[in-house]
Chain A
Amino acid sequence: MAEIALGEIHKRFGETIVLNGVSLEIGEGEFVALLGPSGCGKSTLLRIIAGLEQADSGTVRIGGRDMADLPPAARNLAMVFQSYALYPHLSVRANMMVPLRMRDLTGFERLPLIGALAPGRREKLAVMAARVEMAAETLKIGHLLDRKPGQLSGGQRQRVALGRAMVREPAAFLMDEPLSNLDAALRVHMRTEIAELHRALGATFVYVTHDQVEAMTMSSRIAVMLDGEIVQIGAPAEIYEDPRDLRVAEFIGSPRINVIEAVADAAGAPVAGHGATLGGRFAAAPGAALRVGIRPEHLALAEPARAPLAGRVRHRENLGAEMLLHVAVPGIATPVVARVAPQAARALGPEAQVGLVFDPADLRVFDANGRRVAALARPERSRAYG
């Protein structure tokens, strides 16, 4: 168990800047997700922590020790890969033994045949075998120990990969999209298992994913990475509720947050393209272009005449527990998506005219560059309209 501190990591591949001054502190026993779209540099960052990749500049400290020039194995980290990366010619047991054999046996003891002559080798192997058994027990793969990876299902391979990482009790676990090769049902299941494993081991986890649901459900903190930078870092709820950048707001949440182009009026209230004042007061100069974000679940159905957003229902998606309404509002380019109770929406015919209301406190306002604009006075929690 150890904390990880990254300082001003820069990395470029040729002309492409992959990491542009990334700093990150990960506490002991914390579960941090590096979340971002593909190509944002999250995997490179993980590989730099692991030592598989060298940063052009910047520091990596693990447990207070500078890791510069230390090879991957000397960092005492374990990594779980997207493709599992099990040794195909070795049994599950042998796969899980590899890191222990490499760490605890001397070069002579690892030699085939004559290595058996080394004193104490048998005892060491017994200790290792016991560890492997224990890890297999925890992961419920005890019955698979003598199989080859080729004979296992995806989920089982994933467990073996976790087991191989666990046996040497590393300072931290690094996981590179470990669930993305699994089918949807198994992914949901393994999510719970990995979160439980983290609680049981109490170890530091760094988890790279492009799947916001994985990041939201498992981690204690999320670092959102975009274009080689950490744009925001915080608890999942904080990232969701209080995005500091429009890109973060758009990346987190499904369906995506609705973004409405608006202009600030004299009081700092955003006025949408179709002329409706959306409410609230924000720290924006009069006439400044604003982009107003509102999450689908913060919209509610109302009488069209009295609602700030009104339009025709273009498309309905019934998800069972909820219904997504795509409403084409005149003056707003993309349809506004509202998440409503199915009972409320069932009565609506196709192409029905609906109004959408919201609490101005739920508006997240960004400037033209996508930076968050603060609310001046926090509006009271009340429906301004409807």
Chain B
Amino acid sequence: MSGARIGPVGAVLRHAVLLGAAALALMPFLWMLATSLKPQNEIFLSEIRWWPQRLHAAENYAKAFERAPLARFLLNGVIVTGTIFLAQIAVALPAAYALAKIRFLGRELVFALVLFAILIPPQAIAVPLFLLFHQLGILDTYAALIAPFTISVFGIFLMRQFFMTVPDDLVDAARMDGISEFGIVWRVMLPTAIPAVTAFGIFSVVAHWNDYFWPLIAVNSRELFTPPLGVVAFRNEEAGTDYGPLMAAATVIIAPLILAFLIAQRRFIEGITLTGMK
């Protein structure tokens, strides 16, 4: 409708603006990719060259894997983000179900506390958490990387909003059929909430895969490094100014995220529109 009103010139203009903005956002990624394919002497040329004259990809990527335990970092990333996500779901779904579908005294107060907890920035509690984990003696372990994020108040909020839209009749029908309350959460609510869970999954995985702040505080041992720590360690200690392998490592580290997003893209957008969070 609006396209017809604007006319072909307007349409072209509109797309030009959108393409420009997209190019701006993509530029660093493309530059990273291009750099990861170049030999050292081509990286610092004064001219912009998107494709190297001498392809150095194999060497750069081989070096990246050789100089740092990239595979180990990736594995750590998978273990940490995967466990965090599963734990968040295990907590958020029952909590959201209770907040949305079970009447109990103080429910509104609990929900207000959930909203309040969303306001607390993770940096604010980093030091107390560090001290607590020190007392517990779990610093520099997977537990230290995972434990602070197992309860996601944002996840509880998001799922609660979604569950509010599920008709009460469905819950009552399940009760009539003899499904227990926990059974309802996992066998009725979860399947209907897949789009919302996927959307939350992407938020959660991206946030914790890319998290640099907390892992930097919580772990020291190189074998526990998550991908962002790995990249940084890579640069500081070994690669120095060797940007080819560094960019190769960076590419390797963000590749899983991009793949995951492409796979879940449709569900992601569905989930965001379903919960009205545009």
Contacts and interface: CB of A to CB of B under 8 A. Distances in A.
Contacts of B175: 52, 71-73
Nearest to B187: A87
Contacts of B174: 87, 98
A127 interface: no
B177 interface: yes
A72 B176 contact: yes
A73 B191 CA distance: 22
B9 interface: no
B199 to A, nearest CB: 17
B176 A89 contact: no
A89 B192 contact: yes
B176 A79 contact: yes
Interface stretch (B165-173, B241-249, B260-268): B165-173
A52 B175 CA distance: 8
Contacts of B178: 72-74, 99, 102-103
B188 interface: yes
Nearest to A79: B176
Interface in A196-216: none
Interface in A253-268: none
A176 B192 CA distance: 23
By DSSP majority rule, is chain B's interface helix, strand, loop, or mixed?
helix
A103 B174 CA distance: 12
Contact of B176 (A77, A82, A87, A88): A77
A72 B179 CA distance: 10
A293 B188 CA distance: 51
Nearest to B166: A88
B169 A89 contact: no
B167 A83 contact: yes
In this complex, the member of B167, B170, B177, B191 whose beta carbon has the largest number of chain A beta carbons within 10 angstroms is B177
A81 B175 CA distance: 13
A85 B172 contact: yes
Contacts of A89: 191-192
Given A87-B188, A88-B192, A89-B191, A73 B176 contact: yes
In this complex, the member of B173, B179, B191, B192 whose beta carbon has the largest number of chain A beta carbons within 10 angstroms is B173
B162 to A, nearest CB: 13
A313 B246 CA distance: 93
Contacts of B191: 87-89
Interface in A227-276: none
A154 to B, nearest CB: 14
Nearest to B194: A89
A102 B179 contact: yes
A171 to B, nearest CB: 12
B167 A50 contact: no
A355 B174 CA distance: 59
Contacts of B172: 47, 50, 52, 72, 79, 81, 85
A88 B165 CA distance: 14
Nearest to A71: B175
Contacts of A52: 172, 175-176
A62 interface: no
A85 B173 contact: yes
B42 to A, nearest CB: 54
A78 interface: yes
A86 B188 CA distance: 10
Given A99-B177, A102-B178, A82 B192 contact: no
Interface string A78-121: 11011111111100000000110011000000000000000000
Interface in B118-175: 167, 169-170, 172-175
Contacts of A86: 173
Nearest to A165: B176
Nearest to B192: A88
Interface in A59-73: 71-73
A83 B165 CA distance: 13
Contacts of B173: 79, 81, 85-87, 164
Contacts of A176: 169
A82 B169 CA distance: 8
A103 B176 CA distance: 11
B184 to A, nearest CB: 11
B194 to A, nearest CB: 8
Contacts of A98: 174, 177, 179
Contacts of A72: 172, 175-176, 178
A85 B179 contact: no
A81 B169 contact: yes
A83 B169 contact: yes
A50 B176 contact: yes
B170 A87 contact: yes
10 contacts: A72-B175, A73-B178, A74-B178, A85-B167, A89-B192, A102-B177, A102-B178, A102-B179, A164-B177, A176-B169
Given A79-B172, A99-B176, A102-B178, 12 more contacts: A50-B172, A72-B172, A72-B176, A83-B170, A85-B167, A85-B169, A85-B172, A87-B174, A87-B188, A88-B191, A98-B179, A164-B177
